[in-house]
Structure 1
Amino acid sequence: MTAKDFRTWHATVLAATSLALTEEAGDTQASRRRAVKAAVDEVAAYLGNTPTVARASYIDPRVIDLYESGTTIAEVARRRHRSPAARTRDLEKAVLEMLA
């Protein structure tokens, strides 16, 4: 594994979480597009890359495809967790299950 693998995984989890917690209704194509743009921008800022690089090289495209078809990790993302480590573990597990 390389550092890029870890950056890719973290970017994917961050994008999935952002999409799950978006305030966009997601009931129209335009709303979903705004939510995706916001998630990609958030990941890009975190990684210090442009949104184009973040989306093309770091975010697993299945996360966006699943969001656009109505599948997110919202239940886990909104849940209260005992610690930041527990939240991270649960979010990562939820993303793994969603992508499986």
Structure 2
Amino acid sequence: MPGTSSDIQADVKQRLGAEARPKDFRTWHATVMAATGLAEAGLPPRSERARRTVVAGVVKDVAGELGNTPAVCRSSYIDPRLIDLWERGQVITPRRTRASAERAVRELLS
């Protein structure tokens, strides 16, 4: 088991290539969690205030899971395209498994 952040970084680069970083996993995890949260919230409300409330709640949940503040989570970990797509009514179907949610997010963002 790797003992330091340097060990983890080296392991990720060895397995996935020189460009890979541990943050990539954290970013992907946050993006899938946010997509799932927005899907569970349903279509966006009509009012801007209600939409902001939904997004803030989803971001807060993801931030809690990552152990970050909502501001850091939204600016550094959640793919901003998700929120834009949700506001236009494009979401993944709520999924039962992590693997199916990941597939749906890849399709949504491609």
Q: Distance in 2 between matches of 1:68 and 1:25?
A: 6
TM-score (norm 2): 0.77
| Equivalent residues in 2 for 1:17-96, closer than 5 Å | 17-22=36-41, 26-73=45-92, 75=93, 77=94, 79=95, 81=96, 87-96=97-106
TM-score (norm 1): 0.84
Unaligned stretches of 5+ in structure 2? 1-19
After superposition, the C-alpha distances for 1:20-41 in whole angstroms (9 at most, x for unaligned) are: 1016862221221111000100
Structure showing greater relative contact order (alpha-carbon pairs closer than 8 Å, 6 or more residues apart): 1
> Cα offset for 1:51?
0.4
Unaligned stretches of 5+ in structure 1? 82-86
Report how many aligned residue pairs link the two structures: 91
- Root-mean-square deviation (CA), in Å? 1.6
Percent identical among aligned pairs is: 51
